[in-house]
Structure 1
Amino acid sequence: MLYPELFVQLEKARWNMADDIPWDSFEADKLTDEQARTIKMNAITEWAALPATEMFLRDNRHDSDFSAFMSIWFYEEQKHALVLMEYLRRFRPELVPTEEELHAIRFEFDPAPQLETLMLHFCGEVRLTQWYRCASEWHDEPVIKHIYKTLSQDEARHGGAYLKYMKQSIERFGNEARAAFAKIGLLMASSSRSKKPLHPTNLHVNESLFPNDTIQSRLPDPEWLEAWLTRQISFDDPWEARVVGGILRNLSNLFERPIETIHALNRYRKELSASLKESNVVPHPAV
């Protein structure tokens, strides 16, 4: 089991909202209304850990180890929403998300293959790590700079935890797991091709609710993410390269072979697909 080990590791790194956030360092003249509104949108988006956890628990009933890990991930992700809301409560109370706004993003996700979903969320953590680092640099106000840096570090640790479960999956399922991870890794590392910053919160997850079946589509401002990334925090090509590089480096270590480009990942994905066809491997079903 990985849960006991991960519990100890993440417990040592856990921060306290009352003591570890420098609330007294707030500088009102360094926070604009525009910036405060982006904090509100991120607070609501972080609340999406609730429906994501419900999805994980439903689709991993067979895996008590991973399901137990969700108790850590859910707690820490909900604390992200809470610390952003606390910031607004203290310094922009009129922008604190309402219960209705938070509940609007709680809806059921369609069942999906567990291996692909695991990789999707690993890539999401890699991307959020860089988004929040970039946001911390964009802000001038000391408290929110510190908060975003703290959240970024959490997301990096969460990505490391998901990676451990990915390694475990390869030990159990071999090339089936490698193929699933390569497929989703290729998708998530190809944002420049899709002209869209791919993340679990802006992907469609419930066919019956389409097109209002993404987390972003249910926010008070569904268009905020693109504006935040392009016109506000300026998440440009060098930042995107960090996301892609992080995905490729981790897959290189995971697959124990050099994968330095998206093209190399695509070639390996095709190799795995051909190998599975030759072996007549039936894909691991969603539960």
Structure 2
Amino acid sequence: MLYPELFKQLESVRWDMDKDIPWDRFDAGRLSDEQAQTIKMNAITEWSALPATEMFLRDNKDDSDFSAFMSIWFFEEQKHSLVLMEYLKRFRPDLAPTEQELHEVRFEFEPAPALETLMLHFCGEIRLNHWYRRAAEWHTEPVIKHIYQTLSQDEARHGGAYLRYMKRAINKCGDEAKAAFAKVGVLMASARRTAQALHPTNLHVNKNLFPRDTIQSRLPNPEWLEHWLDTQIKFDAVWENKVVERILHNMSLLMDRSFQSVQELNRYRKELTASLGQRQPVPSAA
């Protein structure tokens, strides 16, 4: 089992909201209304770890090891929402999310293949790590800069934990797991070719609720994410390339094969798909 080891590792570096956040360094003159509004949106977005955890537990009922790890992931992700809300309550209480605004992002996700979902969230952790690093650079107020740096480090560690479960899946399922990971990897590393930010909170997950079936669509300002990325933190091609490079690097480690571009990963995906197709038993005439 991976859970006991991951628990020890993450417990050893866990930060304390009272002791490790330098609340006394707050500088009101360096926090703009524009910046404070984005903190509120991120606080609500982080709250969506709640429905994501419900999805993970439902779709991984046969995997008690991974389900146990969710206790760590859920706790730390909800703490991200909590520390952002605490910041607003202390310094901009008028912008603190209401309970209804938080509850709005809790809705049911449709069942999905566990391997693809695992890879999707692994890529999501990589992307969020980079988004928060860029947010820490954009903000000018010292306390929130420290908070975003802290959150970005958590997201990197979560990605590392997901990677451990992906390696375990390849050992168990072989090419089936590799094909699932390569398929989602191609999608998540192709953000420059899409009109929307590729992150789990921005993807449609319940067709019965369409178009309000993404986390972002249920925020008080559904358009905030694109504006935050493009205009505010300026998550440009240079930063997007950093995300793609990390995805390709980790895919290379997982598959024991070097991928220098999304095109190379896509060719490998096609090879796996063809190989798996050939292994399928031929149906009998009956």
TM range (shorter): over 0.9
- Which 4+ residue blocks in structure 1 deviate beyond 2 angstroms? none
Shift of residue 229 of structure 1? Answer: 0.3
Listed as ranges, the matches of 1:63-74 within 5 Å are 63-74=63-74
**One-letter code of the match for 1:215?**
I
Would you say 1:114 and 2:114 are equivalent positions?
A: yes
**One-letter code of the match for 1:263?**
Q
Q: Name the residue aligned to 1:179.
A: 179
Measured in 1, the distance between the counterparts of 2:211 and 2:239 equals 29
Tell me the SS of whatever aligns to 1:140: coil
Query: Sequence identity of aligned pairs in percent?
Result: 72
Shift of residue 115 of structure 1? Answer: 0.3
Measured in 2, the distance between the counterparts of 1:2 and 1:209 equals 36
Shift of residue 196 of structure 1? Answer: 1.9
Measured in 1, the distance between the counterparts of 2:110 and 2:195 equals 25
Measured in 2, the distance between the counterparts of 1:6 and 1:215 equals 28
Partner deviation per Cα, 1:235-265 (whole Å, 9 max, x = no partner):
0011000110010000000000001100100
Q: Name the residue aligned to 1:35.
A: 35
Q: Name the residue aligned to 2:212.
A: 212
Gaps of 5+ in 1: 282-287
Listed as ranges, the matches of 1:47-58 within 5 Å are 47-58=47-58
Shift of residue 195 of structure 1? Answer: 2.7
Report how many residues are paired: 282
Q: Name the residue aligned to 1:201.
A: 201
Tell me the SS of whatever aligns to 1:159: helix
Would you say 1:14 and 2:27 are equivalent positions?
A: no
Partner deviation per Cα, 1:192-245 (whole Å, 9 max, x = no partner):
011322000000000111111000000000000000000100000110001100
Measured in 2, the distance between the counterparts of 1:245 and 1:144 equals 27
Tell me the SS of whatever aligns to 1:168: helix
Measured in 2, the distance between the counterparts of 1:81 and 1:96 equals 11
Measured in 1, the distance between the counterparts of 2:45 and 2:242 equals 22
Q: Name the residue aligned to 1:263.
A: 263
Measured in 2, the distance between the counterparts of 1:138 and 1:194 equals 24
Would you say 1:137 and 2:137 are equivalent positions?
A: yes
Q: Name the residue aligned to 1:245.
A: 245
**One-letter code of the match for 1:58?**
R
Partner deviation per Cα, 1:13-41 (whole Å, 9 max, x = no partner):
10000000000000000000010000000
Q: Name the residue aligned to 2:3.
A: 3
Q: Name the residue aligned to 1:83.
A: 83
Higher relative contact order, chain-length normalized (CA < 8 Å, sep 6+): 1
Q: Name the residue aligned to 2:284.
A: none
**One-letter code of the match for 2:197?**
P
Shift of residue 10 of structure 1? Answer: 0.3
Measured in 2, the distance between the counterparts of 1:250 and 1:13 equals 23
**One-letter code of the match for 1:219?**
L
Partner deviation per Cα, 1:261-282 (whole Å, 9 max, x = no partner):
001001000000000001118x
Q: What's the TM-score once normalised by structure 2's chain length?
A: 0.98
Partner deviation per Cα, 1:159-185 (whole Å, 9 max, x = no partner):
000000000000000000000000000
**One-letter code of the match for 2:143?**
V
**One-letter code of the match for 2:55?**
M
Q: What's the TM-score once normalised by structure 1's chain length?
A: 0.97
Measured in 2, the distance between the counterparts of 1:84 and 1:215 equals 17
Tell me the SS of whatever aligns to 1:89: helix
Measured in 2, the distance between the counterparts of 1:2 and 1:190 equals 31
Gaps of 5+ in 2: 282-286
Q: Name the residue aligned to 2:234.
A: 234
Tell me the SS of whatever aligns to 2:220: coil
Would you say 1:169 and 2:169 are equivalent positions?
A: yes
Measured in 2, the distance between the counterparts of 1:264 and 1:85 equals 42
